[in-house]
Structure formats: C-alpha cells, structure tokens
Structure 1
Amino acid sequence: MNRYYAASTQRANHHCDYCQAPELIFNFPFEVEHIIPLSQQGENDQANLALACRSCNLRKGTRISGIVPGSNTEVSFFHPRQDKWSEHFQVDTQSGKIIGITSLGKVTIEYLEMNSASQMAARQLWIRLSLFP
C-alpha cells in the first residue's frame, strides 16, 4: 500500500478527491495519485497527492488539462489541493449528475467521465444512503 495512503484518506475523508465517490462502498482501497504527474515535474509530496477512485485515476492518467466542451479553450483539471470542490461543481440530487459550474469543473467532468450512466445510478444510491457527497 502507498505510504501516503493513511494521510490521503484522512484528508479526503475517504472520498475520491475528484468525483467524491465514497471509498466505503468499494471493497478495495482508493488510489493515491499525483495531481501533477512526476513525468510533468510534479512532486512526490502531500501537496501533490490526491485520493482517487479507480475510475477517476484511470481516466485522468497523466493529463492535467483538457479542452472545454464546445470551445477551443484549454483549462486545467480540478486540483484538489488548490481548488475548492463546491466552487466548481454541484450535484443534482435527483439524477446524481455532477454539474460543472466553471470551465475547470466542466473540463474535469468531461475528461474524467464523471457522469456515466452507471456512476449517476450509483450516486443516486449513495445520496439515499447519506454517503454522498
């Protein structure tokens, strides 16, 4: 297990720093990932680490930005150590959809595919169980 796992889970309250999925409902630990990848001069310290569910971590990969849907503008992804989640995202509690309220939120949702049908269905259940967000 990653040596930063305990500190990362405590800081993230056992939720994915990106999509806010609750680690409790998975039968394996979430991953500690580099917000800025080491390959892009990111540091291997707590200020550059995030707790990520498998889905967000795989989809993010080594990317740190993307093109905003419907534009030609490149925007950085949500940075869990620098950005406040509630300033960039909202949740429709009926549908389970995460809504980007800024360009940063929209591009992060798009590239991490946070609103797949299965994720929204799961989120609806988590909301009913008071596990989300």
Structure 2
Amino acid sequence: MTYIPEALRRLVAERAGDRCEYCQMHEDDTFFTHEVDHIYAEKHDGPTVEWNLCLACAECNRNKGSDICSLDPETGNVVALFHPRRDRWADHFLRVDTGVIEPLTAHGRVTARLLRMNRLDLVADRARLIALRPYPGEES
C-alpha cells in the first residue's frame, strides 16, 4: 500500500465534498472515516495520482477491493465499474426516496451489485437520513 501525502488526501476529500464518490454518503454520516481509493488498484499498476484517486466510504471501499469490472447481472457481459473521475454519478444511479440506489446503466448495475450498495442496513440508514434532510447526490 502506497503512502498518500496529506495534501493529496485533502485534495481528494475536498473535490468529493467529503462524500463517498460511489454511494454519495457524507463522511459525517458514517462511523468510520472515508478512505482514499485507487480507482485502478496498485496491483493493476494504477498510479497514486489525482486522476486515479477517489474518496470512498469504508463499506464501498472494502467491497470494491481491487476490482475494476464485473459481470452485468442483466446481460452476463463483463462491464467496467462506475469510474468517479470519468463518469457522472447521476448518469448511472438514481437515489430513490426509500433509500435504494437504483442503477440506471450497466456500469451502475455492476457497481451497485459488487459494492453491495443496497444491503438492507444501508438502505435503512439512507432512508433515515433522507427523512432528516436531502440526501447527498440529489443536486448532482
């Protein structure tokens, strides 16, 4: 695991607005601090540079691991995961009032499934947050 300089960590967190770039959960609403994730993992020769880093909550980061693609549950095709530097969240996901993150594309489907975005406990947490205030990502 490569050391990420503090200035680069700050840049990644500020750029993300302290939100997980996969599920949009704000760091203030999680138990664990968000982590800097290599979009293309180091084991795939992904460099530790700004364009290959994103902010991820512990849940999304653990589930993503070093994966860069998965099988689309609808087609069985190999599809790249959502790429926070290249893709716009609202093009691939829709946050529903029930707390579900609805995938809109193949990239969204493989990412939501692999990162387990719609586990019952996470959906319940999002639903409680939605009842209190607008959920992050709505303005995206």
The answer to whether 1:21 aligns with 2:25 is yes
Residue 132 of structure 2 aligns with which residue?
A: 129
Deviates more, 1:112-121 or 1:64-73: 64-73
Residue 49 of structure 1 aligns with which residue?
53
Q: Give yes or no for the alignment of 1:36 onto 2:30.
A: no
Aligned-partner Cα distance in 2 for 1:89–1:66: 17
1:66 aligns with 2:58: no
Deviates more, 1:20-29 or 1:41-50: 20-29
Instruction: Name the CA distance, whole Å, in 2 between partners of 1:98 and 1:68.
Output: 16
User: Which residue in 1 is equivalent to 2:110?
Assistant: 107
Q: Show the counterpart of 1:120.
A: 123
**Unmatched segments (≥5 aa) in structure 1:** none
Q: TM-score, normalised by structure 1?
A: 0.93
Task: Percent identity, please.
Answer: 36
Moved more, 59-68 or 28-37: 28-37
The residue type equivalent to 1:55 in the other structure is: E
d(CA) in 2 for partners of 1:27, 1:58: 14
1:22, 1:131 within 8 Å by CA — same for their partners in 2?
no
Q: Which moved more, 1:21-30 or 1:10-19?
A: 21-30
Q: How many Å separate the matches in 2 of 1:28 and 1:108? A: 21
Determine the structure 2 residue equivalent to 1:84.
Answer: 88
Report the Cα offset of residue 122 of structure 1.
Answer: 0.4
Cα distance in 2 for residues equivalent to 1:70 and 1:131: 30
RMSD: 1.4
The offset of 1:22, in angstroms, is: 1.1
Aligned length: 132
TM-score (norm 2): 0.89
Q: Distance in 2 between matches of 1:78 and 1:7?
A: 21
Runs of 5+ consecutive residues of structure 2 not aligned to the other structure: none
Work out which of the residue numbers 6, 10, 16 in structure 2 matches 1:6.
10
* Contact 2:46 2:52 (8 Å CA) reproduced: yes
Deviates more, 1:38-47 or 1:59-68: 38-47
Secondary structure, counterpart of 2:102 in structure 1 = strand
Superposed displacement of residue 131, structure 1: 5.3
Cα distance in 2, alignment partners of residues 7 and 129 from structure 1: 29
